[in-house]
Structure 1
Amino acid sequence: MGVLMYRWVLAMLLLGASAWAHAQTLTVSAAASLGDAMKAIAPLFEAQHPGVTLRFNLAASGVLLQQLAAGAPIDVLVTADEETLDRAAAQKLIDPATRRVLATNALVLVAPAGSNLAGLDALTGPGVKRIALGKPGSVPAGRYAQQALEARGQWAALQGKLVPADHVRQVLDYVARGEVEAGFVYATDAASAAGKVRVVATVGGHAPIRYPMAVASDAGQPALARAFVQFLASPAAQAVLRQQGFGAP
């Protein structure tokens, strides 16, 4: 190998090593209902932080908490309810000083697009055999649905019809495919499946739906994680969330 070629190869190797050293991956565990919004926000943040790649871990909030408690390498945690982040704080899994609310949402009852389901009262009727909702123990949307049905006095009567799902997007899929007559999802989920499902009713009688976020206590990239949390509260990120149908914090 000639001297010039050797120097060129060495320079390329050094350049690659330098780029690798500066490359950073930030792992964000977020509620499944935030998936589309997070993917739209990612390039905006990455453009401001060359060499940084956002990696999203999307699942039910309860599952995300279990993963963090088990030692999963997570930098930022965003849940679909205050209760789950409260539990994370109680276990000292997050930095409480970084906690803030990202967005809000609404719970809706949806049915397949061609359904003539009239409202929440119809759920107890013979025309409804299966109602999908997230598992209340790990899926906040399911917990909100349980609170609403209990407030209406319907929870006990509907037990034989309930189809549990691992996360809210699974509920949406069940309804869109016509595998159930109805399901409880967020308004943002319903909007993402326009033409496949229709909103039967906006549901009340539950705790406010807020999405809190915080930096994980054992974040591998704590400074970058704090920067991302701050970015999520910025006008640019909030504009994306509004476009996706989320409410202001």
Structure 2
Amino acid sequence: MAALFLTLLLLSSAAQSAERTLVFAAASMKDAVEAMARAYRERTGNPVVVSVASSGALARQIEAGAPADLFIAANPDWMDYLEDRKLIDVESRTNIAGNTLVVVTGDGAIAPPVDPEPLLRSGRFAMGDPAHVPAGVYTAQALDQLGLWEDLRPMAAFGENVRVAMALAARGDVAFAIVYGSDAELSEDVAVAYIFPPETHAPIVYPAALTANAHEDARDFYAFLRAQAADGALGPYGFTKPAAGSGS
């Protein structure tokens, strides 16, 4: 009996030492974060599960009690939303990546226009829903800066996240989509037709933070992720370094 008890105790300790880390990540971060999770598991043996959706949907799930350990958003607003509700470890918050905003089409590569207006008026287009998708917020800002938002808004098909918007363009359901440069970088089904100048929208940054209830293994994975990001490991997935002065 004593030997059995000791065996069960050791098995319990081993299970606790490899507690699963649950990461909630913005949809545009899917490929990059899943790659970091695989690399971490190969190095440590500790499991990491990545769940992706729009930043707004994920933040509301955390607010509702979802057991996420780490949250990576596609803009600061939804991280602020959780911070205001004391649902993240504020001291752990940092920006781990930046991005660009681009127009993509499924019709093959075209020469990027100097004046994007004819392209943007060429037909129905897809974008993230600005009500809860950061890419949609940046898109609305960029089109408004170009004086086109009010005219083009009725032509927009709002996707539940940026990957859905890109898929619509890839299938030819819309003339084009406005997505992140990182999404276009990883897709063989679309081509970049235009890159919005950075000054047309707020800096695109990806804040990350541990949730208020994150366990120690999650903290270890987060440290690994931050170190990898600082070393440029997110670059091959189309991400840039966070814009200078974009906050902590």
TM-score bin, normalised by smaller chain:
0.7 to 0.9
Aligned to 1:239: 232
Question: Is the 2:96–2:229 contact (alpha carbons within 8 Å) kept by the matching residues of 1?
Answer: no
Equivalence for 2:23: 28
Q: Percent identity?
A: 36
Rounded to whole Å, the distance in 1 between the matches of 2:212 and 2:12 is 29
2:117 pairs, out of 98, 116, 121, with: 121
Query: Structure 2 CA distance, aligned partners of 1:153 and 1:79?
Result: 28
Partners of 2:105 and 2:120 lie apart in 1 by 15
1:230 has 2:223 as partner: yes
Aligned pair count reads 238
Residue 92 of structure 1 and its aligned partner are, at CA, apart by 1.0
Deviation of 1:114 after TM superposition, in Å, equals 3.3
Q: Which runs of 5+ in 2 are unaligned?
A: 243-248
CA offsets 1:146-167 (integer angstroms, 9 cap, x no match):
0001111101101221100000
| Structure 1 stretch displaced more, 226-235 or 75-84 | 226-235
Distance 1:11 1:188 in 2: 50
The aligned runs of 1:68-107 (5 Å cut-off) are: 68-107=62-101
Q: How does 1:12-161 map to 2 (within 5 A)?
A: 17=12, 19-50=14-45, 52-114=46-108, 119=113, 120-123=116-119, 125=121, 127-128=122-123, 130-161=124-155
Cα distance, 1:240 vs. partner? Answer: 2.6
- Matched residues in 2 for 1:100 and 1:48: separation? 24
Q: Displacement of 1:95 after TM fit?
A: 1.0
Bigger Cα Rg: 1
Which residue identity lines up with residue 229 of structure 1 in the other structure?
Answer: Y
TM-score for both structures, normalised by structure 1 = 0.86
Alignment of 1:166-185 (within 5 A): 166-185=160-179
Question: Hey, what does 2:246 align to over in structure 1?
Answer: none
Q: Structure 1 residue 239: deviation in Å?
A: 3.3
Q: Secondary structure at the match of 1:138?
A: coil
What runs of 5+ residues in structure 1 fail to find an aligned partner? 1-7
Using the TM superposition, give the Cα deviation of residue 237 of structure 1 relative to its aligned residue in structure 2, in angstroms: 7.1
